[in-house]
Structure formats: C-alpha cells, structure tokens
Structure 1
Amino acid sequence: MRKPNGYGSIKRLSGNRRRPFVFVISAEGKQKPVAYFTNQIDAEIFQADYNKTHHSRSLPAHQITLEELYHRWLPAHTADTAPSQSTLCSYENSFNHLSSLHHEPFTSLKYMDYQRIIDDMRKSGLSYSSLKKVRSLISLLSQYASKIELTNKNYAPLLSIGKNRQIRPHKPFSRQKINRLYNIIDAPGVDTVLILLYTGLRVGEMLALQKQDVHLRQRYISITHSKTAAGIRIVPIHHKIFHIIEARMKSPGQNLITDDTGKPYDYSRYCTLWRSVMSMIRANGHTTHDCRHTVATMLDNAGANETAKRRILGHAGGDITERVYTHKGLRQLRKCIELLR
C-alpha cells in the first residue's frame, strides 16, 4: 500500500548493524532520522503511532495483522508481568508456529485458521506442551485485542489440543543410584547432580545461581531467577551437600556452577555434562527434572509438611489460606529439607 505524502518512510541501512531499520521524516527539506529498530515490523508500528500522535491520521483501510498485534502486545505484556527469559523464548517459539498467519488481519482469523495450525503441529509430532503454549499465546493476543477494542472474539478456549500423554513418565532416582554418585563424587559434574537432588532446584535455577545468592553462614540459597513467581524463594543447604557448595564457592567465575575456566553453563552444554554423569552411574534415561521428582517423593515418604515442601520446590500454594496466611521461616524449611536422606 502506497503511503501518503508526509507520512515518513522506513529504510534499511547498509552494513552489519544491531538496529538496521530507521524511520525518517522530512524536515526543512532534509530527511531526519527519528528512531532505529531491529526489525521492520517494529519500525512500522512506530511509524503508525507517530503519525497518530503528531498528525492525527492513520493509513486508510489499515488492518492490524497478527504480526503487528504480537509486536504491540509483547512490550505491554512484558512491562506488566516481567516474564522470565525462558517465558519470552516460549512466546517467540509459539509465535513462529503461527508464521502462516502472521500477515493476516487479526480480525479476519477464525477458529479453523488456528485449529489448522494446532492439527499440523500434532501431525508433525510436537509435544502437548508446545500445543498448549501456542493456544495460550492465542488467548493472550485475543485478550489484548479486546483491551484495545480491536475485537472481542477469543477462539482459544475452543481449540482442541488432545490429551497429555507422557512419552516417558518421570521417575525418582533410587538410593543405589544416589550412592553411586557419592562413590564418584570427584568426577566432573557429579556434584551438580547432588545439588539438584538435595535442593529440588530446577536446572535453570541452578545454572542461574550467582555466588552472591549463596549464604554459607546462614546455610541457605536465594533463588532470584525462576520460571514462576512462586519460584523466587530461599532453599536451605542440606548438610550432605554443604561441602560441595563450599567447594563451588571457591571456583573461578561469578556463577556458582561453572567449568574449570569460570565460564557458566547454558542448558545445552549442561545437558552434555548431565548425560556423561548418568552414563557413569548407569542411569541413562533419567532427566534433570527427575531430581525434583526425587526430592518431592522422598519428602512425601518422610511425612514432610506440605506447605514447607511447596516453599522448597517453588510451587504455588494450594489454597488462599496457604498462599496468604501461612509463613514458613528458614528454621521450618531447614527441618523439612533435612528429611532427605
């Protein structure tokens, strides 16, 4: 669509730039750059908003596409909810699954358009979790569209994603396998598995730990980066891994979990280390999340206080009384974590 005179223009600059797109306007016979962007859709959104604000005009017959709606929604949603980096990556992946609809006007999209995407994902063998995340994104975008009075239709609740059939149910580590870890405790990466088994941390939470989050004197760890709000918590250091944490505090780097050079692990690199340890203790097939299941199972078997267990694992409370009125101090949490044998 040809844009009217005085509407400004978007140009792509040459070279390898972090923000190669620029929105320019004509001023005093010259083109004046107003703002720079990493992608064209952000530049077009800015252009439209700029003209509404400064000239009170919009492009005739302009319809907001799914792509434009997503790029308008994401900054607003991020400012309101402060999602974790993993959540932001999840939004991006889900949005990419909707790529065939990106340039369609959002108000023209119907139930079958979305269901077709879901069905194609199922046929290609994608997980139930991936389908659920796409449906969730569609719902969030629809809610935002209602908020800005674009449309009040939300097809997400109608979408069928099938049943969640676990390919491999999680299973706890046996006592024999845990003992094998202690037998080879000096092998690379073994200490990190024991940390997971005696804290209940998610692997992402462990890898994000900074040394400043570890309080050796008070014997607890502060979790400041987690996938959920309930995940922001403190976890007492079990006496069986205290010496492991102490040794890690003396290693190079700012992160608690690093390689010999002080470089922190990302998830992909850590998975390689994990598989090596699992091979050494003949536990191939176990995943990092099995450590959380092990902690939960052992605490259940030991009769742990349910609220304290939820606090340690970073699960949201089960009811309003537990969420609002029940407080568990470090002493109660330490009593709970020491039930692990």
Structure 2
Amino acid sequence: MQCPKCNKNVPDDAVFCCYCGKRLAVRERKAKKRPNGTGCVYKLCGNRAKPWGIKKNGIFLGAYPTKALAVETLEKLQKKPVSESYNFTIEEVRELWKQEHYPALSEKGKESYDLAWSLFEPLKENKMRDIRTEDVQKLVDAQVGKGRSRSQCEKVKGIYSQLCKVAMREDIIDKNYALFLRLPKSKRPDRLIFTEKEIKTLKVDAKTNDTSKIILMLIYTGFRINELLQLPKAGVNLEKGIFTGGEKTEAGKNRVVPIHPEIFAYVQEFMREAKGDLFLSGYTGNKDDHNFRNREYYPTLERLRIRTEERPMKPHACRYTFATRGAKSGVSQEALQKLMGHAKYDTTTDFYIQDDVDMLKKEMKKLK
C-alpha cells in the first residue's frame, strides 16, 4: 500500500504511515452523544427486523427498522413526560379505569361495560399508544355487519372514549380518538304496545291472577320491571296516592308517580299482603326480574293469547304503552318526561311514544 501523502510504500495493514505519520485507516465517526435526559438510540442485539431501540428515563419505548425513524420518534417525545404507563396495553389501561370507576357502578352498569369490553378481544394485547380510530372502527363495523343497533355500537365508543381519557391523563396519547368513530344512523325502533282490547283482557284476568295485576301496574305507572319488583313499601303512600321510586339514571331515581285509579285497588291489596320490606313481598311468584319475565310474565300473556310469535311483547312493552297512552291522552311533555324518568323529552318521543295509526288517520282527515 502506498501512502497518499509521501508516496512511500507501507504495510497493507498499517494504520499510520511509518514515514510521515499520516493516518491510513478510515476512522469511524462516533455518534454525537445526546444531551442528558433526552433519551438514547441504540442497536439491539441479534438479527432483527427492527434493530434500533429507544429509551427515555430508563424506560424502553420501542424498536424501529431504521435509526433515522428511531431518532425521529425520540425527538417527538422530548416535550412529553414518559413513565411506565407509556407502555401500557389497552387492557392495562382498562384495568386502571376499572379500579377508579367500577366501585361507583351498579351491577348492571358493570355488566354493560364488561359486555362492550368483550368486543375488544382483538386489541387487548396492543399498546394503547399504538391504537387509532380505524382500529376500533373495525370493531364497530363488525357489529354493524351483524345487524347490531346504534345503541350497541355506542357502547363500544363509550368504553373506548373512557379509556382514551385515562390514557390522555397518563400522557400515553394526545387526543381522544373515540370522537372520530363513525356510528350507524339511528333508526326509530318499532316498539310493540298493548292494545286497549288486550288491556281489558288483563283487567278481567286480574280478578283472579296477581301476575296480571302486576302487568297492569307496569302499564299504568311506566315503571321498569325491576323498579316495581324492588319498590320498597316505604315508596308507596296510599294517603297521598303516589309511588316514589325508580332507578338507572339520576332523573329516574326516586321519581314521583301518581297511583292511577285503575290500579289503586291492586296497590291496596299488595300493601295488605306485604310480608317484608318490599311492596310486592307478599306476591307468591318470582320477584327476580329475569325469573319473573320467563316464569310469570310470558306464560300469563301466552295463556291470554296476547303474546304470540309475531307479537313477543317484552316487559318494556308496558313502559312503551304507558308513554304512548300518556301522549295520546294529552299529558304534557314535561309531566311525561318526569313520569318516565328521562333527562330529556327527546328520549321519550324517540324511543317510547309509538305512532297510533288510527289517530293519524283521523288527523289526516282534517286536511282539506
């Protein structure tokens, strides 16, 4: 090998020229040391598809295919506080959220969130910081493809939004990606209500059947099935002629519902027979809402030929009937909203009040 400076021959493996001292071997430049506290980029061992790792505050923040991408990612994190939670999976974020919120939820509330969370199975092992709107949108679209309603898709959005808020607080992500989810358009559901003829049939049967009395009380109060089954005796005031009870929402709790004259005698009878703290404690049938529905409510309606395959008449049909009859009879919007226990009247009109075909025909005839 010839020295490029003095043109003398030197050994091939020489690092310096032994005559003039010129450096002959190319010296690899060392990467400039990053300032303290800004993290580091380093080469991972082994043959990897993503050989470049980054760390900040001693916390491993991920691996990248190129050094440039690793440096770029680390630069983006310079103004962001980094803790162990930065590496949390969505499941770990959910556990953190559960610890804070589940103690204040009812059992049904917990069940609702658990059901929505079960749909996140494909994402449970993913890091929260890597999940974006489109990842969860696929879960929503899958539910739409199965024919699920908008309300069920809203549960997916609801729990994801809650998790995003926790992740934002922990500096894992910068925005609530749930806000950008696309949900199917809501359709006004076609709810079934009891006809006047069916209500008369129930009144005849109520002379000898306690279950029919309870069904009529549901129709004339608008109570949810569990609200009536779990109503305490203290929630019945015969002297003032009112019920005080309810559950589920703030607007629905402890609402006042007048005792309609059509069911006053039934209320008196159940109060006389009450053997415990509950208004219906003297009822010999099932008092659990699930068991009452399947063992008392449905068999009674089937026996009276009110419930058929075409008209399944679920317990909420009593509540729909109450709202529809109230609106048809001219009950004010404000009163009907309070009786139903809704925070907004829109909920009453959109989901509970059903169109009366005969009434609409009658109104149409007014058009000249």
Indicate whether the TM-score tops 0.5.
yes
Between the aligned partners of 1:100 and 1:248, the Cα distance in structure 2 is 51
Amino acid at match of 1:73: W
Q: Does residue 305 of structure 2 align to residue 278 of structure 1? A: no
Shift of 1:283: 2.0
Q: Does residue 109 of structure 2 align to residue 69 of structure 1? A: no
Shift of 1:128: 3.1
Partner of 1:44: none
Q: Does residue 337 of structure 2 align to residue 310 of structure 1? A: yes
Partner of 2:192: 171
Q: 1:260 to 1:227 in 2, by over 3 A?
A: closer
Q: Does residue 314 of structure 2 align to residue 291 of structure 1? A: no
1:200-252 Cα distance to aligned partner (Å, 9 max, x none): 112232222122222222221111x5121110111111121122122222133
Partner of 1:230: 251
Please tell me the root mean square deviation across aligned C-alpha atoms, in Å: 2.7
Between the aligned partners of 1:272 and 1:125, the Cα distance in structure 2 is 29
1:1-41 Cα distance to aligned partner (Å, 9 max, x none): xxxxxxxxxxxxxxxxxxxxxxxxxxxxxxxxxxxxxxxxx
Partner of 2:24: none
Between the aligned partners of 2:190 and 2:115, the Cα distance in structure 1 is 24
Between the aligned partners of 1:215 and 1:72, the Cα distance in structure 2 is 44
Q: 1:309 to 1:128 in 2, by over 3 A?
A: same
2:168 is aligned, of 129, 142, 146, to 146
Amino acid at match of 1:283: I
Do the aligned residues in 1 keep the contact of 2:286 with 2:292 (CA within 8 Å)?
no
Between the aligned partners of 1:131 and 1:180, the Cα distance in structure 2 is 39
The 3-state SS of whatever aligns with 2:87 is coil
Do the aligned residues in 1 keep the contact of 2:218 with 2:318 (CA within 8 Å)?
yes
Instruction: Name structure 1 gaps, 5 residues minimum.
Output: 1-57, 320-341
Partner of 2:219: 197
Identity percentage over the alignment?
Answer: 28
The 3-state SS of whatever aligns with 1:235 is strand
Larger RCO (alpha carbons 8 Å, 6+ apart): 1
Between the aligned partners of 1:207 and 1:131, the Cα distance in structure 2 is 30
Do the aligned residues in 1 keep the contact of 2:113 with 2:159 (CA within 8 Å)?
yes
User: Which of the two has higher C-alpha Rg?
Assistant: 2
Q: 1:98 to 1:259 in 2, by over 3 A?
A: farther
Partner of 1:161: 183
2:234 is aligned, of 187, 212, 216, to 212
Q: 1:259 to 1:248 in 2, by over 3 A?
A: closer
Aligned residues: 258
Between the aligned partners of 2:167 and 2:202, the Cα distance in structure 1 is 52
Between the aligned partners of 2:333 and 2:141, the Cα distance in structure 1 is 39
Between the aligned partners of 1:177 and 1:150, the Cα distance in structure 2 is 58
Do the aligned residues in 2 keep the contact of 1:192 with 1:257 (CA within 8 Å)?
no
Between the aligned partners of 2:211 and 2:150, the Cα distance in structure 1 is 31
The 3-state SS of whatever aligns with 1:287 is coil
Between the aligned partners of 2:291 and 2:124, the Cα distance in structure 1 is 30
1:120 is aligned, of 112, 136, 142, to 142
Amino acid at match of 2:146: S
The 3-state SS of whatever aligns with 1:230 is coil
Do the aligned residues in 1 keep the contact of 2:168 with 2:174 (CA within 8 Å)?
yes
Amino acid at match of 2:95: H
Please give the residue correspondences for 1:52-67 in structure 2 after superposition, counting only pairs within 5 Å.
Answer: 63-67=87-91
Partner of 1:35: none
Q: TM-score, length-normalised on structure 1?
A: 0.68
Q: 1:259 to 1:89 in 2, by over 3 A?
A: farther
The 3-state SS of whatever aligns with 1:189 is helix
Do the aligned residues in 1 keep the contact of 2:193 with 2:321 (CA within 8 Å)?
yes
Q: Does residue 156 of structure 2 align to residue 134 of structure 1? A: yes
Amino acid at match of 1:109: I
Do the aligned residues in 2 keep the contact of 1:252 with 1:262 (CA within 8 Å)?
no
Shift of 1:258: 5.1
Amino acid at match of 2:329: A
Do the aligned residues in 2 keep the contact of 1:253 with 1:263 (CA within 8 Å)?
no
Between the aligned partners of 1:235 and 1:274, the Cα distance in structure 2 is 22
Amino acid at match of 2:127: P
Do the aligned residues in 1 keep the contact of 2:137 with 2:182 (CA within 8 Å)?
yes
Do the aligned residues in 1 keep the contact of 2:270 with 2:282 (CA within 8 Å)?
no
Shift of 1:176: 0.7
Q: 1:119 to 1:132 in 2, by over 3 A?
A: same
